[in-house]
Structure 1
Amino acid sequence: MTELPNSWEKAKFADFGTWIGGGTPSKANSDFWNGDIPWISPKDMKSKIIRAAIDGITEDAIDNSAAKLVPAGSVLMVIRSGILAHTLPIAITAMDSALNQDLKALTLPDGISSEFIAWGMRAFEQSILVSCRKGGTTVHSIEMPSLAAFELPIAPTNEQRRIVARIEAMFDEIDHGVENLKKAKATLGLYRQSLLKAAFEGRLTADWRARNGIATGNRAQIYLNDCIEFLTSGSRGWADYYADQGDIFIRAQNLKHDRLKLEDIAYVKLPAGNSEGMRTRVKRGDILITITGANVTKTALVENDLGVAYVSQHVALCRLSGELNPRYVWHFLLSKSGGRKQLEEAAYGAGKPGLNLTNIREVRIPICAPEEQAEIARLLDARLSAAEALEAEIDASLARAEALRQSILKQAFSGKLVAQDPMDEPAATLLARIKTARRQKTSPRKISA
């Protein structure tokens, strides 16, 4: 652990703060609800400062239920939620409010900045989760005795203010940069779809046709079925053949970015003579389409020889005859104005999202000469690859921005973000005063003779 400045101290939450729990007034009592007192629940914890809540309760609810009034400026924390598996939501309430039972509020004495403590809890988020989180079957929770004993570095009061100001200024700059990066990423997404639309409307290859003396006319559309040699999907019995090593087994998660990703791959070993293996074996040039689950309609082209590989029941295998270029068809199935739109309309038309093989056969695709299909595929490959490279740079910049945030917080709570002022009252003196005040508040009053 980095050594703290001499004017700092480490202190347990129990040494300087008071936790207030929440509660839910009876929904059956209409006198408790639709009042002017904000009732904050985890669904409101979406910003660093809470200025409003979706629900409100009444004074009657405060007086006659488990709900308690929490003063403005309190630090709020989610203590029970599935999100605690990876994140600790922290906020400050800007108004007097009440809490849902899945939240706790930390009230602080004079000299301890709510903003400083909130940033400190974010800085030590993962440490708090590791030491204080209790796993459940469906949700996680925070063990309050463990949290009360958790130690945070405490700076002198004036330095707390300087640290908060510096963190917020630096984070504002980072947030501005991140916003621009996200806008650029969104623009790239629009560019991709615009490019795909132009390709299948004939505009992308207009110059190519002019150079080659090919007349421009309306493009005929055919059903994909007219050019399918083979279409199938895996059966349900593959779980019996899972193995640590063996033949590649392609599942829906391997197609989630419209590319075949083999990092998280499963393996199977089929018994000799198993006909299922022959039916669902993948070849180079096949098009794979997710037909069930969260990634439904995601599509990948098998660009390389995978050796022996099969598809699961959640993936359709489409093998084309010679009339259509597989890369041309794959790009069309990525177009939100083309094949992707048709597949999504079929998948989300009614009930649980899913595609059947007939939906794939009925996709309508514009056709052109094989030479133009190849040129469209070549142009799209080049331009979309450039867009992917740029997107990768944006993602790397976003990752660096997040790493910079963590670095700033680490510096802040090791006393290295702002300079110390020898005139500031040391944190030890502040904490001693808080301890004395709390002792006096809880000590019984003497009765005069």
Structure 2
Amino acid sequence: MSEWKEYKLGDITNWYSGGTPSKDKKDYWGGSIPWISAKTMTDYQVSSSELTITENGLANGSRLAIEKDILLLVRGSGLFIDIPINIVEKPVAFNQDIKAIRAKNPELQDFIFFWLQGNKKGLNDILEETGIGAGKFDTDLLKKLDISIPTNKTEFDFIVQTAKAIFDKIDLLERQNAALEKMAQTLFRQWFLEEANDEWAISSLSEMANFLNGLACQKFPPKNDLDKLPALKIKELSSGISENSDWVSTDIKPEYIVKNSDVIFAWSASLMVKIWDGQDCILNQHLFKVTSEDYPKWFYYLWCKHHLTEFISIAASHATTMGHIKRGDLDEAKVLIPSPEELGAMTEQAEPLIQKIIANNIQINTLIKLRDSLLPKLMTGEVTVEQ
């Protein structure tokens, strides 16, 4: 291995704190500046947010991160699931739970970003817990982390370019999936809202598809280390299976096993409809696995998505600690059924979009596994240019 020079992270970077403008000041909000919080830190690069602030809001309680800055979440309950680390694609403001990190030498910026991504295990080791159960980082401890950087420019460039190629490919596929989803939604809206045929039959979600509710997985603990699968709960549906996921015995009815490409509907707490893109797992309670013997996947998936906003409103209206919908709400959710010939013509257009999303998800998961195994070795020199 070529020579690597060791630094303290804080010695080669500047750190900046964000903030939240007063919500009582209407002239602080609704401007043109994206305002980033933990909720927004879902992608590799960040450039937009549903919440925006004005120049006045920026000057009175927040801070601007410039292009190429690194955003690191340092406080939040989600830190125990994953540590969000983003590159700023275009200037954004950010809140007090996030730190912006800027290399004193701009040439090191990408390397430091990929080093942080590849060192999440080390970051987890210094993750603390707040009094309310959220995670937090001590910034002083972060700045004291040792980071080694290759002095050989060829090796330095190889590491950055290899890491960037993997991240860019994942990002490209995720953006492609977002575009495919939008295309499918556009077709659905055209067919069933804008150009609906009055002669089509009217059914309901509960008649059109099967909604299998999950198990109380804690009642099925593993009997050994081989015959088990992770439980798919709302947390996993949102963030993926992790080492913190619970394990369940596979000695259950096979229909409760969730496989890649199954449609999953979270009907309680955080309502969502998603095409599962992870490993085999066991369906937990508060989740439906949606299937149909009579209709194609795109049809029941998009109808579930269509009614999701209404279901979220119903769940929010329930005076309970955890909002939810009931099976009766599925009975009330209307579905238009075209003729078999019309449905077949629609399927020729819509189903390839859904299948492409599924294929992309498989490729994304393969790249994520490559990234997670290769990146820590790249960033420490364990994998070299020669290898």
TM-score (norm 2): 0.52
Q: Find out whether 1:22 has 2:17 as its counterpart.
A: yes
1:87 aligns with 2:83: yes
Q: Which amino acid aligns with 2:127?
A: R
Matches within 5 A, 1:8-407: 8-13=4-9, 16-17=11-12, 20=15, 22=17, 42=37, 54=53, 77-85=72-80, 86-91=82-87, 101-104=96-99, 113-124=108-119, 126-136=120-130, 137-156=132-151, 158-159=153-154, 162-163=157-158, 166-167=161-162, 170-171=165-166, 174=169, 177-178=172-173, 181-182=176-177, 186=181, 218=199, 221=202, 244=221, 292-295=268-271, 327-328=293-294, 334=300, 336=302, 341=306, 345=310, 348=313, 351-352=317-318, 354-356=324-326, 358-362=328-332, 391-406=357-372, 407=374
Indicate whether 1:411 and 2:385 are aligned. Answer: no
Change (3 A) 1:392 1:163: same
Residues 19, 96 of structure 2: 8 Å contact kept: yes
Moved more, 358-367 or 401-410: 358-367
Q: Distance in 1 between matches of 2:116 and 2:148?
A: 10
C-alpha distance in 2 between matches for 1:387 and 1:94: 30
Q: Write the mapping of 1:431-446 to structure 2, written as runs, cut at 5 A.
A: none
CA distance in 2, matches of 1:39, 1:251: 33
Deviation at 1:129, TM superposition (A): 2.0
Greater C-alpha radius of gyration: 1
> Quick check: 1:5–1:415 contact (8 Å CA) kept in 2?
no
Aligned to 2:122, what secondary structure does the other structure show? Answer: helix
Aligned partners of 1:118, 1:129: CA distance in 2, in Å? 13
Q: Which amino acid aligns with 1:174?
A: K
TM-score by length of 1: 0.47
In structure 1, the gaps of 5 or more residues are: 203-216, 228-232, 258-262, 268-281, 283-287, 299-310, 317-325, 420-449
Letter in 1 for 2:74: I
Q: Which stretches in structure 2 are left out of the alignment for 5+ residues?
A: 224-230, 239-245, 251-255, 257-263, 275-283
SS in 2 for 1:120: helix
- What CA distance in whole angstroms lies between the structure 1 residues aligned with 2:357 and 2:295? 24
Counterpart contact for 1:331–1:377, Cα < 8 Å: no
Kindly indicate which of the two structures has a greater share of residues assigned to strand.
2
Q: Which amino acid is the alignment partner of residue 151 of structure 1? A: D
Query: Aligned to 1:186, what secondary structure does the other structure show?
Result: helix
1:333 and 1:22, CA in 2 relative to 1: closer, same or farther beyond 3 A? closer
